[in-house]
């Protein structure tokens, strides 16, 4: 027997001569002492003399798949796992992002007016088509919850679409015992307390607002399209509504300078609302698909970053430290995730024309759409994306392969001009994985009656 290729060892934690063993595919974790670690380090096969003092513990580790008998076990389990990740409905919730409009009242420095994106609202015809498409999809796949995310542009520029789609889908879902919730991703400028009250009665679950620092930084990065600052009005709306609805904050950063993030948190603390806010999301500014594929433009992308860049690991470390100092929950970690392009049931994004996309970052690039709410079947692009088994090109002994399955397909395209190439996260994960695992261990041990110590 030996350690699985997909097992990470965190040494001398939580104490000297104790070890955390974490499996990246099963997400199982266990703590072992030095004696058992020595046994694991020194056997190639389970001989008779090892079966007396440590047999029960070794059997337990084998059952957890932290130990394997041969490499073929890892290979076959990984292959089956990634197929399940691609095709299975792993969650009964159906997340749908709806772009109500490409128009925006802000002119952010890291965004751009794309020639490929028509600045138009989703009209009533597309709204009706979107509703019918979602109903058919829910019935076809048996989802038990519909979770809508209204997106833009600035989604509140086209409140009419929200006001039409939400009541229709909420009523339809309630009649069939399907849970219904929705959220808003907004710049916060139009989010008045009165509007929050209205949407809460319709099923609003949370709001995510972008704030890029204190007044000077925010107003520089996120001015009104016609000129003028936005910070004061956005902050007033946050303060006026934070007791009503869960408000998450998104903010961007460049390189590993997080000074403005710390200043923003201090400001929220002074206002007495820091611990009343929902999750914080920190996003690097990174090259994206610009007009006609122009990569020279910049756009903040929440799910993508070049993990080989040392500054991202540096920034992540600084941000986690800051969050701990402020006693704020830290989101993210060692979760398994598949790129939505290759996952059959990862949700959908619908633009203002009714075109279907598997990734928000592809919005507006019509050649990357996989279909339309007005067509019964997906186009060939859907199968092309789904059949990308990029993980087979990765080193098969990579510890992180179950987690990333080859990485983000759009990042691969930005780096290599091909969707069919790995976008490796290994340098970043080598740096951050031990910290993620320690945090998960601390959270587990905070639960009552939890034990995971194999002696």
Are 107 and 45 members of one domain? Answer: no
| pLDDT value at residue 48 | 47
62 and 101, same domain (yes or no): no
| Same-domain check for residues 41 and 144 | no
Integer angstrom CA distances of residue 181 from 27, 93, 173, 203, 450: 29, 10, 10, 5, 32
pLDDT score of 91: 64
Q: Is residue 402 part of a domain?
A: no
Instruction: Find the CATH number of the domain harbouring 179.
Output: 3.20.20.70
pLDDT at 115: 44
Q: How many domains does the chain have?
A: 2
Locus of tokens 């110590």: 453
- Give yes or no: residues 296 and 212 share one domain: yes
* Structural domain for 341, as ranges: 92-383
Buried b (16+ CB within 10 A) or exposed e, 321-344: ebbeeeebeeeeebebebbbbbbe
Q: For residue 324, is it within any domain?
A: yes
Q: What CA–CA distance (Å, rounded) separates 33 from 18?
A: 5
Query: Same domain, yes or no, for 118 and 208?
Result: yes
How far is it between the farthest Cα atoms of the chain? 79
Token digits for 275? 């611990």
Number of neighbouring beta carbons within 10 Å of residue 448: 4
Residues 124, 220, single domain; the answer is yes
Judged on CB neighbours under 10 Å (0-12, 13-18, 19+), 176 is exposed
Do 353 and 283 lie in one domain? The reply is yes
Do the domain assignments include residue 56? yes
Residue 304 lies in a domain: yes
430 within some domain: no
Q: Looking at the structure, do residues 41 and 150 belong to the same domain, yes or no?
A: no
Q: Of 366, 383, 400, which residue is a domain's last?
A: 383
pLDDT at position 320, please?
A: 82
Assess if residue 183 is contained within a domain: yes
Shared domain check, 210 and 63 = no
CA 436 vs. chain centroid, Å, equals 15
Give the per-residue pLDDT at 288: 55
* Contact status, residue 272 vs residue 235, Cβ threshold 8 Å: no
- Full pLDDT tens readout for the chain, 455 residues: 899 999 999 999 999 999 999 999 999 999 999 999 999 998 755 454 456 577 899 999 999 999 999 999 999 999 999 988 888 765 689 999 999 999 999 999 877 544 445 568 999 999 999 999 999 999 999 999 999 999 999 999 999 999 999 999 999 999 999 999 999 999 999 999 999 999 999 999 999 999 999 999 999 999 999 999 999 999 999 999 999 999 999 998 877 678 899 999 999 999 999 999 999 988 877 655 554 445 444 344 455 444 445 667 788 888 888 988 998 877 656 777 778 888 877 889 999 999 999 998 888 888 999 999 999 889 999 999 999 999 999 999 999 999 989 998 888 888 888 999 999 989 888 988 998 899 889 888 887 555 555 54
Same domain, 118 and 173: yes
* Pair (62, 208) in one structural domain: no
Q: Are residues 107 and 41 in the same domain?
A: no
Q: Does residue 238 sit in helix, strand or coil? A: helix
């Amino acid at each position: 027997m030996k350690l699985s290729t997909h097992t990470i060892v965190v040494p001398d934690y939580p104490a000297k001569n104790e070890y955390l063993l974490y499996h990246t595919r099963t997400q199982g974790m266990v703590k072992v002492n030095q004696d058992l670690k020595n046994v694991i380090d020194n056997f190639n096969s389970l001989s008779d003399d090892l079966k007396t003092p440590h047999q029960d513990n070794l059997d337990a580790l084998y059952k957890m798949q932290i130990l394997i008998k041969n490499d073929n076990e890892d290979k076959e389990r990984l292959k089956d796992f990634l197929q399940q990740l691609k095709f299975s409905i792993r969650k009964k919730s159906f997340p749908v992002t709806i772009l109500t409009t490409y128009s925006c009242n802000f002119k952010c420095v890291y965004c751009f007016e794309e020639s490929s994106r028509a600045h138009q609202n989703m009209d009533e015809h597309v709204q009706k088509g979107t509703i019918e498409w979602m109903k058919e999809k829910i019935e076809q796949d048996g989802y038990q919850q519909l979770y809508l995310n209204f997106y833009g542009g600035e989604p509140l520029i086209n409140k009419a679409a929200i006001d039409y789609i939400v009541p229709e889908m909420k009523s339809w879902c309630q009649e069939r015992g399907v849970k219904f919730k929705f959220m808003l991703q907004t710049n916060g400028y139009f989010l008045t307390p009165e509007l929050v009250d209205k949407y809460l009665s319709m099923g609003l679950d949370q709001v995510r607002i972008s704030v890029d620092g204190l007044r000077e930084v925010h107003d520089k990065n996120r001015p009104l399209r016609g000129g003028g600052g936005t910070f004061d009005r956005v902050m007033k709306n946050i303060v006026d509504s934070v007791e009503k609805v869960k408000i998450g904050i998104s903010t961007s950063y460049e390189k590993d300078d997080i000074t403005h993030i710390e200043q923003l948190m201090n400001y929220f603390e002074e206002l007495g609302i820091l611990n009343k806010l929902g999750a914080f999301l920190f996003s690097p500014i990174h090259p994206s698909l610009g007009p006609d594929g122009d990569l020279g433009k910049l756009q903040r992308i929440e799910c993508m970053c070049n993990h080989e860049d040392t500054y991202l690991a540096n920034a992540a470390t600084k941000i986690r430290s800051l969050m701990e100092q402020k006693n704020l929950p830290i989101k993210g970690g060692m979760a398994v995730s598949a790129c939505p392009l290759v996952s059959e049931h990862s949700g959908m994004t619908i633009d203002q024309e009714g075109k279907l996309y598997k990734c928000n970052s592809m919005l507006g690039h019509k050649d990357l759409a996989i279909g339309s709410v007005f067509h019964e079947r997906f186009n060939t692009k859907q199968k092309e994306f789904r059949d990308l088994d990029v993980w087979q090109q990765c080193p098969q002994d990579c510890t992180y392969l179950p987690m990333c399955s080859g990485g983000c397909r759009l990042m691969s395209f930005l780096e290599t001009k091909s969707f069919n190439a790995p976008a490796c996260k290994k340098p970043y994960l080598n740096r951050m994985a031990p910290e993620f695992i320690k945090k998960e261990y601390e959270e587990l041990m905070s639960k009552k009656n939890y034990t995971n110590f194999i002696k």
